[in-house]
Amino acid sequence: AQKITQTQPGMFVQEKEAVTLDCTYDTSDPSYGLFWYKQPSSGEMIFLIYQGSYDQQNATEGRYSLNFQKARKSANLVISASQLGDSAMYFCAMRESTGTYKYIFGTGTRLKVLA
Amino acid sequence: ETGVTQTPRHLVMGMTNKKSLKCEQHLGHNAMYWYKQSAKKPLELMFVYNFKEQTENNSVPSRFSPECPNSSHLFLHLHTLQPEDSALYLCASSQAAGSYQPQHFGDGTRLSIL
């Protein structure tokens, strides 16, 4: 069963507007971490934001925020005031605490910011 | 230098060649990872090293052979590869494999098998 699901293969957003990238996950582990990464066309994966399963508040990092809804098992990334440089692939990932060292990645969402 | 550095950035090789990919991290991390990224597929974890000990081998064919001489360096030795092995190979590091620390990635090596 797929543990990380990103249902939006591609998204468009107008420059300076906000956009939400969806991520749902599946785990029975009460302790886990959720991550978002950005991958520009150059290939490097850039860490954006982290949310722990026990964190009471939604994570924020500059223009990035994570809309964490634990009961629904969703961890959507919100990018505010989009910029042209935000055009990239975005990956959601999860790390469980079950003793393995695996970070599980979704298939990604390609975001295109329009001028 | 800072971050995670991978060399070479691009590699073209025949199926009978032997080559190695190199990864070096300058972040003081203790865990290092190899991933394979193919088009339209999720990132596939290949190997994990935690404090120089291999802790994960995700059913990777033996034509891929990892080596981790110390916590800062990671190699992926390649021999007798197949066309389906053409992909972007990403190296990553983190504080420790068992923590929730984010991984830091290199720029990747784009491998093409002729």
Whether A62 has a pLDDT exceeding 90, the answer reads: yes
Element (H, E) at B92: strand B87-94
Identify the three-state secondary structure at position B83.
Answer: helix
- Chain B positions with Cβ closer than 8 Å to A: 31, 33, 40-43, 45, 48, 50, 55-56, 58, 88, 90, 92, 97-98, 100, 102-108, 110
B56: left (phi over 0), alpha (psi -120 to 50) or beta: beta
Residues of B in contact with A52 (CB under 8 A): 100
pLDDT of residue B56: 83
The per-residue pLDDT for range A64-91, each reduced to its tens digit, is 999 999 999 999 999 999 999 999 999 9
Residues of A in contact with B105 (CB under 8 A): 37, 44-47
The per-residue pLDDT for range B53-96, each reduced to its tens digit, is 888 888 899 999 999 999 999 999 999 999 999 999 999 999 87
> B6: which 2 tokens?
């991978």
pLDDT of residue A32: 92
Selected residue with higher pLDDT from B39 and B92? B92
Q: Cα separations (Å) of A112 from A9, A55, A81, A87, B96?
A: 11, 31, 13, 5, 34
pLDDT of residue A106: 93
**Helices within chain B (DSSP H only):** none
